[in-house]
Amino acid sequence: MTNGHVTDWRKAAGAVALLAGAALLPLLISDPARLNFLVLILMAAQMGVAWNIVGGYAGQVSLGHAVFFGIGAYTSTMLAIGLGLTPWLGWLAGGAVAVLFALAMGWPCFRLKGHYFAMATIAVAEIVQILVTNSEFLEGAVGLYLPMDRSGPAAMVFLSKLPYYYIILGLLVVTVLVAWAIERSHIGYYFRAIKDEPEAARALGVSLTRYKLIALSVSAFLTAMGGSFYAQKEMFIDPGSVLATSISIKIALVAILGGVGTLLGPVLGAAILITIEEYSRTLFGSTGSGTDMIIYAAMIILVAVFSPSGVLGLLSDLRRHLPGGGAKPKKASKSAEIRP
């Protein structure tokens, strides 16, 4: 038991160090393009951690998360245009709309198990994309510009990339804290029970649908906030940039690659994925060559076949196999936690 306390302290210290490092990183990097690269990683990480709550912990794989991302982006942007509402409130509104949507969509879709749930989520996201593309109210395929005349903290519009870096870092920290709180609470245990032993969980009186809906709603809320942030950063949204299937795929990939159902796996996955994306772009020329897709698809297949727990799982496996691997007790307590 004391051992557990020690690792807890060690973990907390590690987290604080990581956070301090991330907060100080912009002091070393002043180049806006590099800073933007970091912002992209943090955005992908935030979405991956949010996805992980439903896809990883509860094991309900959504391949339609762009719908929540898009709802967040469109809600805060419409409120800013129509009512001049500050995005700080707008992204809460976006989250709320996303939760309502998650409940409405989860109710029929959660009748499907596993593979078919995943496909149904693609279908839902596709329907919404078609409806928005053809909606005059939302300017359809033309897209929406945020009001350009306002700037400053209240409008969340800045000339420098730096404020965006800290905002998304803050959002990522909030998202990780939510995931962490869920992981440790009884809800987290229910989620894992639903994922690993749905029949047993049902027999013990856990309402599968209720907890799946909770997982999807929390995930949707956080993903929508990521969408609102994207809108603020780009100042322009259209169905292709916030509702496309490719966004859903990317959100899931980040978590899968890093480690499904682990707290910080998606952060690692985001760093890997965005780096591959950027480098293959500079190495092999402009977009459309498909090299980034090939590389990360190959990684996903390898992860699925050889290490279902992602790169993070691969790393801890490696550490265990090294002589005198220090991660042994930690790993043991972790797996005991997951499968009691």
Partner 1 sequence: MTADILLQVLVSGLLIGLIYALVAVGLTLIFGVMDIVNFAHGEFLMLGMYASFWAFALFAIDPVVALPFTALLLFAVGVIVYQTVIRRILKAPMLSQIFATFGLMILLRGLAQFFWKPDHRLIPHTLVSGNVVLGPVQFGLPQVVAALGAVGVTGALWFFLHRTRLGTALEATAIDREAATLMGIDGQKMFALAWGIGAACAGIAGGLIATFFPIFPEVGASFILIAFVVVVLGGFGSVTGAFLAGIIVGLIEVLGGFLIGPEYKTALVLSLLLIVLLVRPKGLLGKA
CA–CA separation, 87 and 72 (whole Å): 10
User: Toward partner 1, which CB reaches closer, 230 or 292?
Assistant: 292
Among 162, 300, 314, 338, binds partner 1 (CB under 8 A): 300
Intra-chain end-to-end CA distance of the chain, in Å:
16
305 binds partner 1 (CB under 8 A): yes
Q: At what angle do helices 32-52 and 162-184 cross, to 10 degrees?
A: 20
What are the residues facing 157 on neighbouring strands?
152
Characterize the bridge pairing of strands 236-237 and 144-145: antiparallel
Q: Is 283 in the site for partner 1 (CB under 8 A)?
A: no
With respect to partner 1, which residue has the nearer C-beta, 1 or 305? 305
Q: Whose CA is closest to 312, among 93, 56, 16, 132?
A: 56
Residue 77: what residue type? Answer: T
- Tell me which H or E stretch contains 237: strand 236-237
For position 291 contacting partner 1 by CB under 8 A, the verdict is yes
Q: Which stretch binds partner 1 (CB under 8 A): 160-168, 206-214, 226-234, 303-311?
A: 303-311
Residue 44 and residue 250 in contact, taking contact as beta carbons nearer than 8 Å: yes
Beta carbon of residue 195, minimum distance to partner 1 (angstroms, whole number)? 8
Please, which of residues 91-150 interact with partner 1 by CB under 8 A? 108-109, 111-112, 114-116, 118-120, 122-124, 126-127, 130-131, 133-134
Shortest separation between residue 180's beta carbon and partner 1, angstroms: 21
Q: How many C-beta neighbours within 10 Å does residue 149 have?
A: 6
Question: Of these, 13, 304, 318, 332, which contacts partner 1 (CB under 8 A)?
Answer: 304
Residue from 35, 215, 296, 316 that binds partner 1 (CB under 8 A)? 296
Cα gap 32→25, rounded to integer Å: 13
* 241 forms part of the interface with partner 1 (CB under 8 A): no
Quick one: which of 155, 220, 303, 311 contacts partner 1 (CB under 8 A)?
303
Which of 47, 98, 218, 256 contacts partner 1 by CB under 8 A? Answer: 256
Query: What's the rounded Cα separation, in Å, for the pair 151 and 235?
Result: 11
- Which class for 184: exposed (0-12), middle (13-18), buried (19 or more C-beta within 10 A)? exposed
The minimum distance between CB 291 and partner 1, in angstroms, equals 6
Indicate left, alpha or beta for 151 from its phi (over 0: left) and psi (-120 to 50: alpha). Answer: beta
Which of these ranges, 14-22, 92-100, 295-303, 324-332, lies near partner 1 under the rule CB under 8 A?
A: 295-303
Q: How far is the CB of 161 from partner 1 (least distance, A)?
A: 30
Is 152 one of the binding residues for partner 1 (CB under 8 A)?
Answer: no
Residues forming the site for partner 1 (CB under 8 A)? 55, 59, 61, 63, 108-109, 111-112, 114-116, 118-120, 122-124, 126-127, 130-131, 133-134, 245, 249, 252, 256, 260, 288-294, 296-301, 303-305, 308
